[in-house]
Amino acid sequence: MSKKIIAGNWKMNLDYKNSLILAEKISKILAFKKSRNEIIIFPDFSSLLSISQIVKKSQINIGAQDVAAFPLGAYTGEISTETLKQINCKYILIGHSERRQYFGDNNFVADKLENVIKNSKITPILCIGESLVERKKGETFKVLSKQLSDAFSKIKLENIVNRKIIIAYEPVWAIGTGLVAEVNDIILAHREIKKCFSKMFKGDKVREVQVLYGGSVNVNNFLDLENLKEVDGLLIGGASLKAGDFLDIAFNF
């Protein structure tokens, strides 16, 4: 059985100096007390290399918040899987709602996922979720199914044999708003995601997809999700910016 995952997405909330300070704090605490869960942090690109050195002897894994849709080449402002591999990135977020909303990533999610899966051994974490309008229309399952099928449209069964694949369910209306989906809605959404994935990729060597929940998770509400078998971990935003809060969740989830 896979460990549960506690992942902190720092976004662009911290500058270089404060990113390193936070990584140091988390690493030092984990040196004295281990978490039974897998710990991942997603700093910004500028601090990835330095933080990889800070956490290299700890149980912390580092991940990138985004990646290019192509291998190495003339793509100004992008970052390659090759570079991320060399600085020991184990995970990459793909299709976060903020990337979709502000940077048009809906058009590139399939290419980015294909690039990561076919050209590296880095584990992708695909982010999907419905908007408030879609939720009110009762279209949550329809949206999740389409986002999954679109994202994996360039992936074949043989590409993911024995590959670890993670999906983060992040209802767009719950990200950074303080609103959290009802527990039963989370259960049903996670079941639907796992069902859709298993329909797309059937085979004895296909690992069961892990599904994380993200959306205003904090120290006051994470225990509501602790014992749900459908929830394989958490993708945390604001609460991951304080070492104490982040590790409170990591130690007790």
Mean pLDDT in residue range 39-63 = 97
List the helix and strand counts (H, then E) for the chain. Answer: 9, 8
| Active-site residue, 96 included | yes
Q: For 151, what's the count of Cα atoms within 13 Å in the CB-facing half-sphere?
A: 29
Q: What is the pLDDT of residues 87-126, one digit of tens each?
A: 999 999 999 999 999 999 999 999 999 999 999 999 999 9
- Percent of the chain whose pLDDT exceeds 90: 89
Lowest mean pLDDT among 35-39, 48-52, 129-133: 129-133
Q: How many C-beta atoms surround the C-beta of residue 183 within 10 A?
A: 15
Structure tokens given for 95: 């299709």
In 3D space, the residue among 42, 78, 77, 75 whose CA is nearest the CA of residue 60 turns out to be: 42
Q: For 186, what's the count of Cα atoms within 13 Å in the CB-facing half-sphere?
A: 27
Q: Provide the annotated binding site.
A: 9-11, 176, 216, 237-238
Give yes or no for a contact between 99 and 105, defined as CB atoms under 8 angstroms apart: yes
Give yes or no for a contact between 62 and 90, defined as CB atoms under 8 angstroms apart: yes
The architecture CATH gives domain 5-252: Alpha-Beta Barrel (3.20)
Report pTM.
0.96
Please, which pLDDT band fits residue 204 given cuts at 50, 70 and 90? Answer: confident
Instruction: State whether residue 127 is helix, strand or coil.
Output: strand
Residue of 38, 98, 130, 170 with catalytic role: 170
pLDDT at 64 over 70: yes
Domain spans in the chain, listed from the N-terminal domain onward: 5-252
Q: Provide the annotated binding site for substrate.
A: 9-11, 176, 216, 237-238
What CA–CA distance (Å, rounded) separates 30 from 59? Answer: 7
Residue type, 128: I
Q: What is the pLDDT of residues 148-164, one digit of tens each?
A: 999 999 999 999 998 99
| Active-site residue, 170 included | yes
